[in-house]
Amino acid sequence: MSYFNVRVYGLLINGNNQILISDEQSGGRSFSKFPGGGLEYGEGLIDALKREFVEECNAEIEVLNHFYTTDFFEKSSFNDSQILSIYYLVKEVKPLEMAFKTVALDFDEASLQSFRWVSLDELTEDDVTFRTDKTVVNQLLALLAQVD
């Protein structure tokens, strides 16, 4: 049976004009995406995003603005669900206190997830794996080009 899989992600840009990318291993695959994850039953989008940042980054965030919602069909890479992803611009309440990597998919033996900062000047859709994340990268870069 097919079903919808609602995902929520945060676009966290630091004071150095870098965006946070999460590298993960799951289901026998390695991939890069924005921090966030699945909505749990009974949970709102904002609460889910805040929970995901606490779980993944041990960090409290403030949600600033909605940025993008998937507007095309995307089948999950892991099951038979249709993915619906919602992205928000977020900021950290306090500076993140965690180790950051400088290379994509650089995992410690004990962890299936790592984080890295990517400069907005160097960000491309190749920095993320999934189609919706690539769409978000392109929209973010287009928005930044308008501001410059």
For residue range 33-90, what is the model confidence (pLDDT) as tens digits? 999 999 999 999 999 999 999 999 999 999 999 999 999 999 988 888 999 999 999 9
At 28, the pLDDT band (50, 70, 90 cuts) reads: confident
Question: 3-state DSSP call for residue 10?
Answer: strand
Report the CATH fold assignment for 4-147. Nucleoside Triphosphate Pyrophosphohydrolase (3.90.79)
The sign one gets for the Cα dihedral 6, 50, 108, 95 is positive
The pLDDT, as a whole number, for residue 148 is 67
Number of Cβ within a 10 Å radius of residue 9: 23
Give this prediction's pTM: 0.93
The separation between CA 99 and the C-alpha centre of its own chain, rounded to angstroms, equals: 17
At 1, the pLDDT band (50, 70, 90 cuts) reads: low
For the chain, which residues make up each domain, given as ranges? Answer: 4-147
Question: Which of 19-33, 42-56, 110-124 tops mean pLDDT?
Answer: 42-56
Average pLDDT across the chain, whole number: 93
- Token readout for 12 is 């966290």
Mean pLDDT over residues 94-121, rounded? 88
The pLDDT, as a whole number, for residue 23 is 94
